[in-house]
């Protein structure tokens, strides 16, 4: 694979990461909306299933955050490598 092909593939990957970031941000916003509704519905209850639901929602939010970080790091690495290639 030539340097130009590597650059092209890095550019394509970088654009895919931008799209992934947008998708993850949208998912995070939708999760936040759903979480607000669910927590409102669960307010005042300490039923074990309600506690499980709260934990699952918190876990989902953490996963969205971690995924967003991974995408950002991948994007930074791709940009750094592309810059190093010249």
Cα 3 from Cα 59, distance rounded (Å)? 41
Question: Would you say residue 86 has pLDDT above 90?
Answer: no
Q: Is the dihedral of CA 12, 17, 18, 22 positive or negative?
A: positive
Burial class (CB in 10 A: 0-12, 13-18, 19+), 53: middle
pTM equals: 0.83
Write the pLDDT tens digit of every residue in 38-72.
999 999 999 999 999 999 999 999 999 999 999 99
The token pair at 44 is 């005042």
Cα 9 from Cα 41, distance rounded (Å)? 47
């Amino acid at each position: 694979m030539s340097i130009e092909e590597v650059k092209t593939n890095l550019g394509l990957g970088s654009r895919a990461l931008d799209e992934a970031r947008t998708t993850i941000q949208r998912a995070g916003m939708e999760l936040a909306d759903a979480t607000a509704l669910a927590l409102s519905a669960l307010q005042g209850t300490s039923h074990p299933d309600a506690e499980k639901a709260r934990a699952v929602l918190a876990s989902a939010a953490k996963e969205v955050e971690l995924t967003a970080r991974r995408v950002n790091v991948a994007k930074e690495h791709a940009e750094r490598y592309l810059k190093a290639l010249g």
